[in-house]
Chain A
Amino acid sequence: MSVTHDARVQVRPATAQRPTARAWPDINNPAAWIVAVILLIMPLIANGFFLIEIFATTLILGTIALSLMLLAGYGGMVSLMQLTIAGFAAYMVAVFGVSGNANISLGWPWWLAVPMALALATMFGTLGGALAVRTEGIYTIMITLAIGAAFYYFTNQNWAIFNGHTGINTVSTPHFWGVNWRADIPFYYIVLAVAALCYFAVEYVSRAPFGMALQGVRDNPRRMAALGFNVNAHRVAAYAVASFIAGLAGVLQVWNYRQISPGSVSVGACIDVLIIAVVGGITRPIGPYIGALVFVLLRTFALDFLIKIGLDGNRFRLLIGLGFLAIVFWSSDGVIGLWQRWRQSQRPAASRPGGGRGHG
């Protein structure tokens, strides 16, 4: 039999098209340690504007996009309702917690309002997922987009709970142990901790039975059923996990802006999450954070740049759109795909490592 011979002549493709299950992430990667240290000492080197408007916002948006990466990258399900679920959690924090709209908010302390918001957001996303898993491909996108659009118009028109188009304002943020946790530096660390937790959790689960089964469902659902897996139950469970992650990000988002209104859950914002995930790359959990950083930097600085070259500053979306086009054109797995290919081209061909391990 030619097994051993075949093993020797195998040629590995330059990049993996799909996320593969991997060993524990990046422990031996100096770049990962440098990024971790920079993130930890950020308050020493960045002012309040950069800390919150750039980095905290990036981490929050990145975590919402991470929930999409989990569904799309590992599960093969493109959900456009991840921002809607985050927005729902944000609304629930405002509704159950304390805000300037005393006629709506129930005034619960944050440590009750937040678990309630997370539970409801997870339930909402799981129900939406249970609808969406009955479809495949473009129909999943349509159903989740419909849920997102319906929620946006509902918040616009419902005054009893969502306070219509004005939304809910001056949402209170946690104060305990004598610390105002919405002050720039404490808030940055809360956001960093939640984002890191979600990132490592997704990375870890990708190699656990649940994550591997999800990748199996992505690759061949029919065979998964023929191996004893209840494919739809796995998909719905993935929506539940993704909804919890998106919900966490939504809680941080409402604390960040201290208000929530329909504008934050618009259809355009739903699609931004998809753009963030695709630009960063949905093959790895780090991709959404890279995409979010690119997005936030463009959104923040493209305005000045465009005015400087004599264009309307509001055209920053033009730049994002061009970037999106360029990315999907040249690198189907986003910025991390470009990075991987660059790394591989720097390396002598003979020493290329195996597909599944490390940063290869």
Chain B
Amino acid sequence: MDSVAQRLSAVGAGAALELRGVTRLFGALAALTDVTMTVRPGERRAVLGSNGAGKTTLFNCITGDFPPSSGTIRFFGEDVTHFPPYERIRRGLRRTYQISALFPGLSVQDNVYLACRGVSRGRFSFLRPGQSDALMHAADGLVQAVHLAAVKDQRVAELAHGQQRQLEIALALAGAPRFVLFDEPAAGLSPTERQELIEILTSLPAHIGYIIIEHDMDVALRVVESVTMMHNGRIFKEGLPQEIQSDPEVQELYLGGGHE
């Protein structure tokens, strides 16, 4: 774990993400209750928990897709609790979706280009990008990074599932991300594709931290250095991967009594 310590010391102190008492109600149902957590810059963390534990709701509160009912969310020290999603994204927050949320009518290249444009100036530009357009080059780079160069002119509706999952990741890495939320990026991937996903995640630049929701422990525990366990909308346990894995209560939850 030397490399982890080096990486974290390189990106400095403070909190990338700081949640204080975040609660989200859907009517009378509390999807999240009093969640408090701090993630350092560059930290990579897994959020585990059974279905309905509140993992995706946690992401939706952090990005502003659904604002929290109460509590505060700070992103690199700034209170973003009441910011619309696009303001948070422009500050370096990114996310992927559990069910691919892409633009099926546009090509792979245009999907990534939109992601690059969304976090830079000129979103309303009426001028077409030229051959030397910097964002087009950035988009090319991202398309290659997720191994989609061979299909970059195809419409997204025509892509295979695994390719759509990779594009999902590319969209979240556009611009200058500082912190990324990955919502089950391995869902529906083949073993080889999972291996590729692990490579993409572990080769991200050191300063980019992330939270990953993942049911596949093999994937999750290989790409993170800390784990948060959620249950019924609350944080149940936090710790190092090996601690969580060997924790009897966690094993009880995952293997036995999790669905009572």
Contact = CB atoms under 8 A, between A and B. Distances in A.
Contacts of B175: 228
Interface string B224-241: 000000000000000000
Interface-centre pick from A4, A6, A212, A227 (highest chain B CB count, 10 A) = A227
Given A230-B84, A237-B124, A209 B117 contact: yes
B140 interface: no
Contacts of B80: none
Contact of A208 (B125, B154, B193): B125
A10 interface: yes
A213 interface: yes
A215 B107 CA distance: 11
A21 B158 contact: no
B101 A226 contact: yes
B57 interface: no
A205 B126 contact: yes
B104 interface: yes
B103 A228 contact: no
Interface string B187-219: 000101100100000000000000000000000
Contacts of A213: 114, 117-118, 123-124
22 contacts: A1-B193, A2-B192, A6-B159, A13-B158, A16-B155, A207-B128, A208-B125, A208-B127, A208-B128, A208-B129, A209-B122, A209-B123, A215-B105, A219-B102, A219-B106, A226-B95, A226-B97, A227-B114, A228-B118, A229-B123, A231-B86, A354-B154
A225 B125 CA distance: 17
Nearest to B192: A1
Closest 5 pairs (CB-CB, A-B):
A228-B118, A227-B118, A223-B101, A219-B103, A228-B89
B163 interface: yes
A20 interface: yes
B106 A212 contact: yes
Given A21-B106, A212-B110, A222 B101 contact: yes
Contacts of B157: 13
Contact of B162 (A2, A209, A220, A234): A2
Contacts of A209: 117, 122-125, 127, 129
A interface, how many residues as a size bin? Answer: 35 or more
B37 to A, nearest CB: 21
B185 interface: no
B106 A7 contact: no
Interface-centre pick from B117, B118, B175 (highest chain A CB count, 10 A) = B118
Contacts of B155: 12, 16, 20, 355-356
Interface stretch (B10-18, B42-50, B67-75, B143-151): B143-151
B124 A226 contact: no
A19 interface: yes
A2 B151 CA distance: 12
A222 B65 CA distance: 8
Interface-centre pick from B105, B114, B190, B192 (highest chain A CB count, 10 A) = B105
Contact of B97 (A215, A216, A223, A229): A223
Interface string B169-191: 00100110000000000000010
B104 A219 contact: yes
Nearest to A20: B105
B30 interface: no
A312 B6 CA distance: 87
A224 interface: yes
B63 interface: yes
Nearest to B85: A225
B243 interface: no
Contacts of B86: 225-231
A210 B126 contact: yes
Interface in B89-148: 89-90, 94-95, 97, 101-107, 110, 113-115, 117-119, 122-129, 147-148
B152 to A, nearest CB: 10
A204 interface: yes
A218 B105 contact: yes
B247 interface: no
B153 A4 contact: no
Nearest to A232: B84
Contacts of A6: 151, 159-160, 162-163
B169 to A, nearest CB: 13
Nearest to B120: A228
B88 to A, nearest CB: 9
A2 B125 CA distance: 37
Interface-centre pick from A208, A216, A228 (highest chain B CB count, 10 A) = A228
Contact of B105 (A11, A12, A219, A224): A219
B153 A356 contact: yes
Nearest to A205: B126
A218 B153 CA distance: 20
Contacts of B84: 225, 230
Given A204-B128, A212-B113, A226-B63, A10 B151 contact: yes
Contacts of B85: 225-226
Contact of B150 (A4, A19, A355): A4
